[in-house]
A and B are shown apart, each in its own frame.
Chain A
Amino acid sequence: MEMPTPDASILARKSRIVERLMGVLPKTAVIHEEVETRAYECDALTAYKCPPLAVVLPASTEEVAAVLKICFEEGVPVVPRGSGTSLAGGALPTADSVILGVARLNQVLETDYDNRIIRVQTGRTNLSVTGAVEAEDFFYAPDPSSQLACAIAGNIAMNSGGAHCLKYGVTTNNLLGVTMVTMEGEVMQIGGAHLDSGGYDLLGLICGSEGQLGVVTEATLRILRKPEGARPVLIGFDSNEVAGACVSDIIKAGVLPVAIEFMDRPILEITERHAKAGYPDCEALLIVEVEGSPEEIDAQLGLIKQIARSHNPVELREAETAEEAGRIWLGRKSAFGAVGQVADYMCLDGTIPVSELPRVLKGIEEISAKYGLKVGNVFHAGDGNMHPLIMFDANKPGDLELCEACGADILRLCVEVGGCLTGEHGVGVEKRDLMGAQFTEADMEAQMKVKDVFDPAWLLNPAKVFPLETSRTRRERDVAA
């Protein structure tokens, strides 16, 4: 993975740039000593690191606008940062960039149950949005697994999903409006508390643009009333193919579970050692969860169990109590941590048509054998969003590169069967150089034209999403000239 060479003229102007930033922000909100900027050298994709020129932590939309105006005038790239939980390197700095962190923008501005909306500053964490409304039995639906730490700003940048999006959709389906600051420092309102756009759907364009179009400081989000209850069922199978067929049959039967999670044998073995959730010894495990009143849950699970039985499961276990439900989810929720205990790992999130599940799992097995790296799969099966975890040893020379190559092969396979490179983590730097596998030059040109309109100087998070060669002329052109 390569990043652009830092602009020497920016590095040379560091003290002036820092001084100007300190002119519009409190002293504690500008971090520029190298020992301190190091805390921002990477996000959750820790394989790549680089301390930024400086870090700013504005506490209002006005401060964000003032910072961006200065950076625009100075021609300094800006890398927006939520909580730094990106698995794709979305918040990875370059040495000549300013990190704009939204952590201090963490207020709830308005809760409105009649209209089912909440308005928040975007540094607020995902889980704390639900926290702000759960006393009234409401919740915010998108639930990425980093939800304890990740910020709404990052959710919007990456259009984050989660385990329950089969029913409730991803961020873009739950976002009604934003306050956005452009690179030039102009503040604008896109969308609001109403549904849909009266003109072009700019909100839909901003969501998932990886911090390349503007800095979102406030968001109006849809909140929902909690269902009366939820209950999972665990189903074990002796082959991935049969588990895949069962997923497809459940969906075809007309029940829409809120979640269908899939774990394969490598993951089950590691998880069971670590979390001791009491999972059966099998090749593939499904966790299917439905919602509603007890009677509704019984009716839906009745249908699901009937379908599962027709596929001869090795185990079929329904939670009778909240504690049993917790145990069913325990292994799934501990899976990433468990893998982290035994190896370094890279987590991909290519998405595939559900019908291609068996073929892709087989393909991953072959790729895993070819590279000699263990790969486990734990993922959202209802929507085909894979999460292959490639295990490697970061201390072994060459293993990271081997892992990157293995990951690239897996993602190319996802695209080949009609899927995509990333379902919910974003492109960032991690999948940037693979964009050509999914898109033609013309497709990428069309996307880059959008950035030309929002950020003509290409200063916002410029070295992400598009292969460096593809974006080079735009990034290196002197706009003033």
Chain B
Amino acid sequence: MLSPASEAELSEAVAAASGPLRVVGGGTRSIGAPGTGEVLSLSAISGIELYEPGALTLVAKAGTPLAEVEDALAKEGQMLPFEPADMRALLGRDGVPTIGGVVAANAAGPRRMLAGACRDALIGVRFVDGAGTVLKNGGRVMKNVTGYDLVKLMAGSWGTLGVLSEVAFKVLPRLDGATLLVRGAKGADALEAMVRGVTSPFEVSGAAVVPGEGTYLRIEGLETSVAYRIGKLTDLLRDLGEIEVTSDANASAAIWTRIRDVTDYADTPGAIWRVSMKPTDMVDRFLPAIAEIGAFDHRLDWAGGLAWLRLEGDDSAIVAAHHAVQGAVTENGGGHATLFRAPEAVLRRVDVFQPEAPGVAALSNGLRAKFDPRGILNPGLMGGA
């Protein structure tokens, strides 16, 4: 295992590599079949470089534990706006989630629909490309259009275009919240409750559906404001189900941690997909379509724009379902489905990522060939040979 302790050492390690490398942060959210290359761990390149609460800016080395970042922010009453999930329970992993891993996965929790994903809060990166060259893009200011935005490109590239060494974020004030449950809302009503919430002027920062329970909406802000908005939303939604309000901030936060981390599926068998689509396509077209394929269990987030799917079955059934799910996404309005959890034998047989249209795939492959000309960074992942 390679474990460079600095960006310079990281650069040397990549430049000197003679075969494939498996880039690892904490290994808690890695995706696809385990690669064959030598492990390149970022855990020794760690530490918060700069944090200015008054400028809403934080810069950290890629191997910094996520918890260290979140603790530092919490001390100043701030947070990462995109609410990254802890995937350990869902994926059955040990290890320490790192901030670099969060970026590589472009993680985003329930607040995504209001405040953006990791890619939207990420304002700067430093990374080492496949040739070992140290590069930077963006910076530490929250408005920056100087040159091309490689920051966005690096977010969600799963370590296939470069190895992150440092990441910079725009952060936000952390606000207490309350949760409103429309108990019993299901199907079209559950969607309707989310739509009414997020198209109201009351700034709903979470909108999710747990089948069997109903639609959850989250409101965050100053105390008087939260109470006012909860009242308004209650009036708006009472015809769709019984309204239950969780006003206690900690109890409310716990509801959204459960939704964010998909802990309902933590100790269950079966494969897990993460699907992003236009909300009405998801609920009106996609979910009915996949019900024809198999007995999927699901959870909805992002006002219906995100679904977590779970299906039990043997390896061949999961492989077949994977292709069917991705096909159903394309046929029902478009978006993407990613296989997040499955037995290793399944992962070896499929590309977990949604196939791209040929023209788009050609651009993606072209970029990869430029940034990693030797094809040594996580080969096999994201369509790489």
Contacts and interface: CB of A to CB of B under 8 A. Distances in A.
A353 B151 CA distance: 18
B197 to A, nearest CB: 10
A186 interface: yes
**Residue from B134, B142, B338 with most neighbouring chain A CB atoms (10 Å):** B142
Given A384-B55, A446-B129, A195 B370 contact: no
B106 A431 contact: no
Interface stretch (A145-153, A308-316, A450-458): A450-458
Contacts of B55: 248, 251, 353-355, 384
Contact of A195 (B201, B302, B368): B302
Given A195-B305, A225-B201, A299-B225, A444 B147 contact: yes
A194 B119 contact: no
B338 A198 contact: yes
B140 A199 contact: no
Among A198, A208, A252, A442, find the residue whose CB has the most chain B CB atoms closer than 10 A: A198
A19 interface: no
Nearest to B116: A173
Interface stretch (A31-39, A49-57, A158-166): A158-166
Nearest to B232: A293
A153 to B, nearest CB: 15
Interface in A191-228: 192-205, 207-209, 225-228
A198 B276 contact: yes
Nearest to B365: A453
B141 A419 contact: yes
B139 A295 contact: no
B141 A194 contact: no
A137 B201 contact: yes
Chain B interface size range: 35 or more
A308 B244 CA distance: 39
B336 A443 contact: no
Interface string B122-166: 000000010001111101111111111111110111000100000
B228 A293 contact: yes
Interface stretch (A265-273, A322-330, A421-429): A421-429
Nearest to A449: B370
Interface in B349-385: 353-354, 356-357, 359-361, 363-364, 366-368, 370-371, 382-383
Contacts of B141: 351-353, 383-385, 418-420, 423
A420 B278 contact: no
Nearest to B204: A225
B148 A205 contact: yes
B228 A450 contact: no
**B interface, by DSSP: helix, strand, loop or mixed?**
mixed
A444 to B, nearest CB: 7
A385 B148 contact: no
Contacts of B53: 251-252
B228 A254 contact: no
Contacts of B368: 200
A418 B139 contact: yes
Contacts of B2: none
A420 B367 CA distance: 25
A321 interface: no
Contact of B135 (A300, A443, A451): A443
B362 to A, nearest CB: 9
Nearest to A448: B148
A46 interface: no
A309 B173 CA distance: 21
Contact of A446 (B140, B306, B371): B371
B56 interface: yes
B117 A196 contact: yes
A204 B121 CA distance: 13
Nearest to A222: B113
Contacts of A28: none
Interface string A333-366: 0000000000000000001111100000000000
Contact of A196 (B106, B161, B366, B382): B106
A101 to B, nearest CB: 22
A105 B201 CA distance: 32
A142 to B, nearest CB: 11
B196 to A, nearest CB: 10
B276 A196 contact: yes
A252 to B, nearest CB: 5
A199 B359 CA distance: 13
Nearest to B333: A193
B338 A169 contact: no
B173 A194 contact: no
Given A295-B225, A353-B57, A355-B54, A423 B143 contact: yes
Nearest to B131: A442
Contacts of B71: none
B195 interface: yes
Contacts of A303: 222
B77 interface: yes
Contact of A198 (B76, B116, B354): B354
A384 B142 contact: yes
6 contacts: A188-B359, A196-B276, A199-B356, A200-B367, A205-B153, A352-B141
Interface of B: 52-57, 76-77, 106, 108, 112-113, 116-117, 119-120, 129, 133-137, 139-153, 155-157, 161, 172-175, 195, 198-201, 203, 221-222, 224-225, 228, 276-281, 302, 305-306, 333-338, 353-354, 356-357, 359-361, 363-364, 366-368, 370-371, 382-383
Shortest 6 CB-CB contacts between residues of A and residues of B: A204-B152, A198-B336, A248-B54, A423-B143, A453-B366, A194-B335
Interface of A: 112-117, 137, 158-159, 161, 165, 169-170, 172-173, 182, 186, 188-190, 192-205, 207-209, 225-228, 247-249, 251-256, 292-293, 295-296, 299-300, 303, 351-355, 380, 383-385, 418-427, 431, 435, 438-440, 442-444, 446-447, 449-454, 465
Given A198-B335, A424-B143, A447-B150, 5 more contacts: A115-B279, A195-B305, A251-B54, A255-B222, A419-B139
